[in-house]
Structure 1
Amino acid sequence: MRRHLSWISSVVVIAGLLVGACSNSGDKKTPDTPVSREANASPGVTADEIHFAAIGTKTNNPLGTCLYDCFIQGINAYFDYRNSEGGLDGRKLKLTTTIDDALAKNKEGSLQIINDNDTFATLSVPMLATGWPDLANAGIPVYSVPWYPDDMNGHDSIYASNGVECIACTRHFMAYAPKVLGDKKIATLGYGVSQSSKDCANAATDTIKLYSKETGQQVVYTNNGIAFGIPNGIGPEVSAMKNAGVEFIVSCFDINGQKTLAQELKRQGMADVPILQSNSYDLTFMKNAGDLFEGDVLGVAFRPFESNGEGNGLALFKKWMEKSGSKLTELAEYGWIAAETAYQGIKAAGPGFTQASVVKATNALTSFTAGGLVPAIDWSRQHEMPTQDDPATHGPKQECMSLLTYKGGKFEFIGGATAEKPWLCWPGTDRKWSEPVPTDFQ
């Protein structure tokens, strides 16, 4: 649920200068002296390499999805790409420390990274980001995925594929998606044990209400107290939605929860009711579910694989993922984006970079897009959470989301989004209703 970058700033230091000697017989040049790298005493930086740590949840991942491994695949693919060009100022980028936090030990793993003091920055994909305050206090740059706005909030050294986002605030796309399909009776669902899921469901309810005059929509059923994992099924809730005449569901569940919901909808004869999902961009999972997700809508915050890769980083991502023999996944693209953020921040910091100077340089990037993989983010002001009343001060210049529907075993753009302009964007200056503008970022 929830962007970044400036390109090419040289950090090469020339150790020698070309000198000429004049004589009556003409000019003569001495041979070029070799390029040398400025000495750097930062943790994890050697004459030949920049070392990184990765920490995340592999063991005990309650979602059962490819989280940690896929994130690392994207990181390594990006490092392979940059290293094929000579690395950064001649230094290779290398993942030298990998830690499985086993869900409950993110703090312990983060403290290990701090105490070892042999890596420059940390790439993190935890289920519980309990170690982030320690990493931030130690001044270690952290690069992650866009699911932890509360943990990112106020920390100017923690980065994701978007700025700090207000999950509890209204979002245009939650009302626009059912409007595209002509649906007006809406249900909103969330887990009771997860505050972010509850906030998401409440935001969906508030969104439908806020734009009801313009869309004609109304919330006819809402429930933000569903048990995580839906262990007892969701039959009574689906029956209540059926009785209420629900035509469209905004779901704040995980991918497995959406499947349980879709199965029950089909069982009760409501298979034609679309679900808006924000974290189910997994074509293999969709296909393996048969026709359960047919007609459902996905909100995707990064550049979808179905979009045009010309002139942006998508083609490079696909190329280097293929070279590594890895599958294209949402988490791998997030890993690539995280690594790109780290690279560009170090490059912008210049020779003799330190952890502090990289944070400062990254926070001077005011239109970072990870090479067109995410909508533009201004890191000079998007480390603070925006509010419902003030979306502009700390929010994105544009509120953007890519909308796709699942049909016939593939994802298709809807609502005006296209392969060339995959995002639908609204002005970030206020929360008034307007039609979105199909947009591309480079």
Structure 2
Amino acid sequence: MPVKRLELHLGRLVALVAALGVLLVACSNSSGSDSTENKGGSGGAVVSNSAPGVTADAINFSMLATKSNNPTGACIYDCYAQGIEAYFAFRNSEGGVHGRKLALTEKIDDQLGQNKQGALKIINDNNTFGTFSAAQLPLGWGDLAEAGVPQYVWAIQPAAMAGHDDIWGNAGIICLDCTARYYPYAATLVGAKKIAALGYGVSDSSKRCTQSVRDSIELYKADTGQEVVYYNEGLAFGLPNGVGPEVSAIKRAGADMVITCFDLNGQKTLAQELQRQGLADVKLLHPNSYDQKFVEEAGDLFEGDIVQVQFRPFEADAGDSGLGDFKKWMEKTGAEISEVAMIGWIDADIAYQGILKAGPSFTRQSVIDATNKITDYTADGLIAPIDWTRMHESATQEDPTTHGAKQECTSFVQIKGGKFQMVGATKEKPWVCWSNANRDWAEPTKTSF
């Protein structure tokens, strides 16, 4: 596919996709983790392999993620690496893949604005097979794609992923412009009817996410009785001047729920101002506050709020999914369970599955080809199904299924007493899903993949 060069303004600091509910889950079929192949790989003698980063006993990977100057309030670099390394420890305990162990041998801090420089270093060194990336400003993803380096990424930057058949993530390409039924459904969970929608003006992803909130509430208002009573897509990133005037306007409008496309720090600033102005009963829908430590430290600030989760929640029953393995190996490696660690685990599984399917004489290109033949990828039941034969492009509002998922699925938890609790679904069936055959309103189907 042609490579799309991306020039992203430094202001695009956060890609919050409430549409990130547009994501996810279903358990592996023959294309996923439940492959009937030997889980340790090929077995027998190790086949000679001269691919970059491949030695007689290891397959080495690099990581490019944001640590310094991280503006979001979320643990990214360290947590992402912990998830990858826990997954590698899990697979290595089974013998690795094709007789070789998986190793994360190079970690680069992109310092927020140095992603391209980090990518060029990886390309020039040419001593790792593939790259994991959790970036706020993915300026180097195009360079890595052009160099044919397989990339496994945190899928919050869909524009940087689109059109590249050698970039995979914990979700397919997200349609930021499309409506989503999970927004009004989340409002029904707290009985909200009057919605405020807020986003950052400097982030294209945040703006489009906020527009999707507005359009979704409007589209289904006849079915839900909900309406948008306040809308602002132009707030400054990080809310450096506070959000007092906006909350005053929300108060005058009588909103009983605020849906934002903010980062963790923005959510906290907003919640504090709501409380200061006597609006503690106004609930928030959080796109990315699935962080137990962050919530506990906030006391009762987020009490009763709804948090959207893009994978099988930690509070759900593991069933026959990979959630049990994740928890087991995070503990074995001394790592802390977190949202971003789960993203790292899922990305590492994509890398493993592609190499496994490519066979012992794998190359970068054969792994790219093999991964793109997977039609029902769920990371062993941790995410909604991804068809990598067609989901390297975005769906559209008019055409949800040519490049989009067959179902619109997400999970929700609610904050009660500083803890997360399942809401809207069950521990056994933690997903709420709607058919994408059309965009009609309907009650969701509770699902487990």
Fold shared by both chains (TM-score > 0.5):
yes
1:378 aligns with 2:387: yes
For the 8 Å contact 2:98–2:359, the answer to whether it is kept is no
Q: Which residue number in structure 1 is paired with residue 218 of structure 2? A: 209
Q: SS of the residue aligned with 1:94?
A: strand
Counterpart residue number, 1:6: 32
Aligned: 1:179 with 2:205: no
Partner of 1:315: 324
1:430 and 2:427 aligned? no
Q: Secondary structure at the match of 2:232?
A: strand
Q: d(CA) in 2 for partners of 1:64 and 1:413? A: 24
Show CA shifts across 1:265-321 (max 9, x none).
Answer: 111111011101111001111111111100111111111110111311111111111
> Are the structure 2 counterparts of residues 51 and 252 from structure 1 closer, same or farther at C-alpha, using a change threshold of 3 Å?
same
After superposition, the C-alpha distances for 1:389-409 in whole angstroms (9 at most, x for unaligned) are 111100011110101110112
1:140 shift after superposition: 0.9
* Structure-1 separation of matches of 2:281 and 2:48: 63
- For residue 419 of structure 1, what is the aligned residue in structure 2? 427
Contact 1:301 1:402 in 2 (8 A): yes
Asked if structure 1 preserves the Cα contact closer than 8 Å seen for 2:73 and 2:263, the reply is no
The one-letter code sitting in structure 1 at the alignment partner of 2:430 is P
Alignment partner, residue 21 of structure 1: none
List gaps (5 residues or longer) in structure 2.
1-16
What is the CA–CA distance in structure 2 between the aligned matches of 1:392 and 1:84, rounded to whole Å? Answer: 39
Deviations 1:178-223 (A, max 9, x none): 1232211111000111111111110000000000110011111000
The CA distance in 2 between the partners of 1:351 and 1:65, in whole Å, is: 38
Match of 2:137 among 122, 128, 131: 128
Cα distance, 1:351 vs structure 2? 2.1
Query: Which SS does the other structure have where 2:365 is aligned?
Result: helix
Separation in structure 1 between the aligned mates of residue 419 and residue 331 of structure 2, nearest angstrom: 20
* Alpha-carbon separation, structure 2, partners of 1:314 and 1:244: 42
Name which structure has the greater RCO, CA cutoff 8 Å, separation 6+. 2
- Taking the aligned partners of 1:44 and 1:302, their CA distance within structure 2 comes to 30
Alignment counterpart, residue 238 of structure 1, candidates 243, 247, 250: 247
Please give the secondary structure, in 1, of the residue aligned with 2:108.
strand
Q: Which moved more, 1:227-236 or 1:176-185?
A: 176-185
Structure 1 unaligned blocks of 5 or more: 15-34
SS at match of 2:259: strand
Q: In the alignment, what sits opposite 1:355?
A: 364
Q: Distance in 2 between matches of 1:411 and 1:65?
A: 17
- 1:65 Cα deviation (Å)? 2.4
Q: Distance in 2 between matches of 1:381 and 1:393?
A: 7
Whole-Å Cα distance in 2 between the matches of residues 129 and 405 of structure 1?
A: 31
CA distance in 1, matches of 2:45, 2:372: 28
TM-superposed CA distance for 1:334, in Å, is: 0.4
Cα pair 2:41 2:95 within 8 Å, conserved: no
Q: By how many angstroms is 1:64 displaced?
A: 3.5
Match of 2:10 in 1: none
1:212-361 to 2 correspondences below 5 Å: 212-361=221-370
The AA in structure 2 aligned to 1:104 is G
For 1:64 and 1:287, how far apart are their aligned partners in 2?
14
**For 1:115 and 1:409, how far apart are their aligned partners in 2?**
47
State the AA in 2 paired with 1:412. Q
1:397 aligns with 2:406: yes
TM-score normalised over the length of structure 2:
0.92
Q: Compare CA radii of gyration and give the structure with the larger one.
A: 1
- Per the TM alignment, residue 12 of structure 1 is displaced from its structure 2 partner at its CA by 5.4
Q: Distance in 2 between matches of 1:13 and 1:434?
A: 46
For the pair 1:95 / 2:121, whether they are aligned, the reply is no
Asked if residue 158 in structure 1 is aligned to residue 158 in structure 2, the reply is no
- What is the distance in 2 between the residues matched to 1:262 and 1:45? 49
Match of 2:9 in 1: none
Instruction: Provide the TM-score with structure 1 as the length reference.
Output: 0.93
3-state SS of paired residue (2:92)? helix
2:106 and 2:194 map into 1 onto residues whose CA distance is 50
How many corresponding residue pairs? Answer: 420
Find out whether 1:440 has 2:422 as its counterpart.
no
1:79 aligns with 2:88: yes
Equivalent residues in 2 for 1:54-73, closer than 5 Å:
54-73=63-82
Distance across 2 between alignment mates of 1:169 and 1:387? 6
Asked if structure 1 preserves the Cα contact closer than 8 Å seen for 2:295 and 2:418, the reply is yes
Counterpart of 1:431, as a letter, is R
In the alignment, the residues of structure 2 paired with residue 134 and residue 282 of structure 1 have an alpha-carbon distance, to the nearest angstrom, of: 32
Give distance in 1, aligned partners of 2:111 and 2:435: 40
Compute the displacement of 1:350 (Å): 1.1
Q: What CA RMSD, in Å, does the superposition of the two structures yield over aligned residues?
A: 1.3
